[in-house]
Structure 1
Amino acid sequence: MNKIVDMQQVSWKRQGKTILSDIDWKVVNGEHWAILGLNGSGKTTLLNMINGYIWPTKGRVNILEKPFGQTDIRELRKSIGWVSSSLQERMKGTERVENIVVSGKFASIGLYENPTEADFAKAYQLLELLHCSHLWGRAYQTCSQGEKQKILITRGLMGSPDLLILDEPTNGLDFISREELMNTINQLAIQKNAPTILFVTHHIEEIMPIFTHTLLLKLGTVYGRGKREEMLTKEYLSCFFDLPVQIDWSNDRAWMTL
């Protein structure tokens, strides 16, 4: 599989208002992308379209080389892992961690199927990969915010997805927990046969070196797309945010100040 995301002249309107306009964007195998934009830029709408929850008003969408209109979207979603704050809110607090992870195989909120011993063995291996196997047997509600995010990422990996979407996964985390989670994502991305990762943020310092490319969304349009270093410059981001910013690089990460 070569093309992970292929959008051509995609627009989406709701109640007469254009939310996304003329989106052209390709993600190919071997790339990891950060999606950067302020609130209201269209990030969530874009993700909903990638997952097939909404369809373009015009344009063509191919996800994992499956064209919309000729694809069983429910089957397609089994190849996509999605982690978001809204997903965390839907999890039952008393559910055990391992059940939440295994439920990712079935793309269900709650475990209603009959998982096998092999399923639980895989869940434990994934928890070990993300350094949180010590949470096995715990109730979800007893875990910290950072631990919950790692659990949901593990859940997203349970179905061996080709595409993993992380929608602002550091929301609500303190600085230390955020850095721990970012390091975990970095380690995940360098694993053999790792899924393509789309990482959504509005903090440029979270765009780690593992993210080869960056998509800049502004008011529902693509303001810029390209290699990370080309997008995260003082000149480019000053125009993007409509105010002068200073960009300083440290440990191969860009940090922005006004």
Structure 2
Amino acid sequence: MAMVAWLFTALVITQTYTANLASMLTVQKLEASISNIETLQKINASVGNGKGTFVKTYLEEVLDFPAESIKSYTTPNDLVDALRNKEIAAAFLEVPFAKLFLARFCKEFMIAGPTYLIGGFGFAFPRGYPLLRDVDKALLKVSESGKYRKLEESMIGSEKCEDTDVKDESSSLSPNSFFILFVLSGGVSTIALTLYTISAHKSCVQQNAIWRLMLAVIKRWRNHNRGFSRRVSDLPQTELKNCPKATNLQIQV
């Protein structure tokens, strides 16, 4: 029973460790530190955007961010440094730039919160421009034929992840991830085996002592019976020696 109890304990520890490891890996992959605009505004956090874009105006006039909380950056590397140094808590980028940014820095950053739809980019031509209809047809043809999506995928696919120095602890599991589990399982199994061996040894010693006691009692009982039988067998011979013969008894009568 003790062996079964210890093995059950090892099983519980194994399942608990595996569940905790799975939960930690899931949380590392899915959760972001800040997931909505309300949290940013509540803590009065600074946010970043690309310099020279309409995003700053959108943040001020539509999303109601204070102007002093908005910082503009020229290059993606400047934006990355600001995020790493916690100068800003989040960055607002146009969707195409955001996709390229995440393709380049794929391990360290992620998209959080909703995507805000706006008008997008446009082309301005003089009134009565003769090629306006041809441009519209070309844009519709590119969009409807799927060339636009293929172009987007090729541009994003050409970007290589540059943050290779960031440790990706959640990408894969190695034997080191289960080192503690092996130690716990081996330790509990060793303790259970040791206790079982000690218990079995004590049981054998007790059984040997009982058998020795029983053999000693039987041996003493047998010796006692032998001595009693000898005394009984010697008693008639003594009485015959002391008693008168039968002929003498008849004469006296």
TM-score, normalising length: structure 2: 0.23
Which protein has the bigger helix share?
2
Which protein has the bigger strand share?
1
Task: Look at both structures and tell me which one has the larger radius of gyration over its CA atoms.
Answer: 2
